[in-house]
Structure 1
C-alpha cells in the first residue's frame, strides 16, 4: 500500500474493506467534522501525502444514476455564496476536480431524504453527500490533489433511511476501486477553487 496516499471516509462502515495497512482517516459525518479531521492530519504531516482519496456513499439525485462515480465538480449546496458575495464577502462554493467522470457532487450538512429537496438539488448536481465540499476546501488550502469516489447508496428520498443496509456492498465496491486503480495514483493537478 502506498503510504503517501491518504484514504478518507466519514464512517468506518464505508471503509470496512480498505486494506488494513492503508493510510486511513475516519472523519465523522458532516462538513465540520470532516474538515477538522483532515486539517489536523495534513497540518501534522506537511508534505507527506501526494493525494487524498475520499471514499464514501452518496445519494443519487437522478434515477438513472447507480454504481460508482468519480465526481469532477463539488459544490457546497447549503452555503449562500451569492448572497454573501452581494454583501461584499465572496466565498468559494465550487471546486473542480481534474480527472473525474463529469458528475457533480453537492455537499451539505442536511441528510437528504425528501423528494422536494432532492428535486431542487438535481437542477445543479448528480449526487449528494455530507463531506465532499469540506474536504475539497481543505485540500485546496493545503495544495494536495483529491479524488472523490462515491457509490450510490440511495435516491435521496425515503430510500435514504435504508442507508445502513447499503453500506457493506458499497464498502466492497470502494475498496475494490482503490486496489484496481492503484489508489487513484495518476498525475493530476491540485483541486481548483
Structure 2
C-alpha cells in the first residue's frame, strides 16, 4: 500500500518536471500557493513549490502538514557548492540542516534554535538512504541524456553524489568572500541554500520524516549567477524528476 508523500520543490522548473510524471494531478490553492495532488509510483503525492527563503518555505511546509498530513516529506532543489570537491552538477543529499544566519547570542549559542536546544535538524536516515541511491542512479543516467555542448559547459562528465550537512540562510551566497567565510565557520557544510533548514524544523515540529536532495548549480562564488537559468532547464529539472521517481519507487 502506498504512502502519503509531500514533494516540495524549490524552483518552477523542477516542480513542472515532477508534475509531468503525475497524470492525475488536481490543483488546489491555499495560503497563496498552488498544491498539486495526485499519484506517482503507487503513492499519494502532494507537490508544491516552496517559495524562496526560510519564511516562505516554513509557511509552505506548515500548510502541507495541516492540509495533507503527509507520512514523509521530500525536498528537491538547487544549491551552491560550499565544501571543496562539491562541484557544479554534483548532488548533495542532506544529512543535517542548520541556519547559517541564525544568531541569538548571547542568549543562546550561535546557530542554536531558541527553545529547541539544537542547531541542526537531522534528516531521516531511511529516507536519506533512499535519496542517496536515487541520486547515484541520476548522476549515472544524466550525462548520457545531454549533448556534448551542455556537458562541456557545466563539466558534467563525471558528476558525484555527496552526503552531508546543508546550510540554509536568507541570502543568496554569490561572492567568494562570503563562501570562504561560511567554509571557515561551518567546515562540515557541503552546500548552501535558502529553504531546507526551515522545512526540516517544521517537519521536526510535526514529527514527520524529512529528507532533501540538492543539485549543485554553482560554487556560491562570484560566478554563481552565470547560466543559472540554462542549468535549471538543461540539468536540474532532469535530476529532480529522475530522483523523485526513483526514490518513490524504492519506498
How many equivalent pairs are there?
A: 180
TM-score (norm 2): 0.66
Alpha-carbon distance between aligned partners in 1 of 2:239 and 2:204, rounded to the nearest angstrom: 27
1:116 equivalent in structure 2: 177
Decide which structure has the larger Cα Rg and report it. Answer: 2
1:167 aligns with 2:193: no
State the Cα RMSD in Å.
Answer: 2.0
Alpha-carbon distance between aligned partners in 2 of 1:140 and 1:131, rounded to the nearest angstrom: 15
Alpha-carbon distance between aligned partners in 1 of 2:107 and 2:250, rounded to the nearest angstrom: 35
1:98 equivalent in structure 2: 124
Unaligned runs of 5+ in 2: 23-37, 39-44, 129-161
1:17 offset after TM fit, Å?
A: 1.1
CA contact (8 A) 2:15 2:48 kept: no
SS at match of 1:15: helix
Return the structure number with greater helix share. Answer: 2
CA gap 1:96/1:42 in 2 versus in 1, 3 angstroms? same
1:165 offset after TM fit, Å?
A: 2.2
Alpha-carbon distance between aligned partners in 1 of 2:246 and 2:100, rounded to the nearest angstrom: 31
1:141 equivalent in structure 2: 205
1:65 equivalent in structure 2: 86
1:102 offset after TM fit, Å?
A: 3.6
SS at match of 1:182: helix
CA gap 1:83/1:172 in 2 versus in 1, 3 angstroms? farther
CA contact (8 A) 2:123 2:211 kept: yes
1:62 offset after TM fit, Å?
A: 2.8
1:17 equivalent in structure 2: 17
Alpha-carbon distance between aligned partners in 2 of 1:41 and 1:90, rounded to the nearest angstrom: 23
Alpha-carbon distance between aligned partners in 2 of 1:35 and 1:97, rounded to the nearest angstrom: 16
Alignment of 1:68-83 (within 5 A): 68-83=91-106
CA contact (8 A) 2:10 2:78 kept: no
CA gap 1:105/1:72 in 2 versus in 1, 3 angstroms? same
SS at match of 2:215: strand
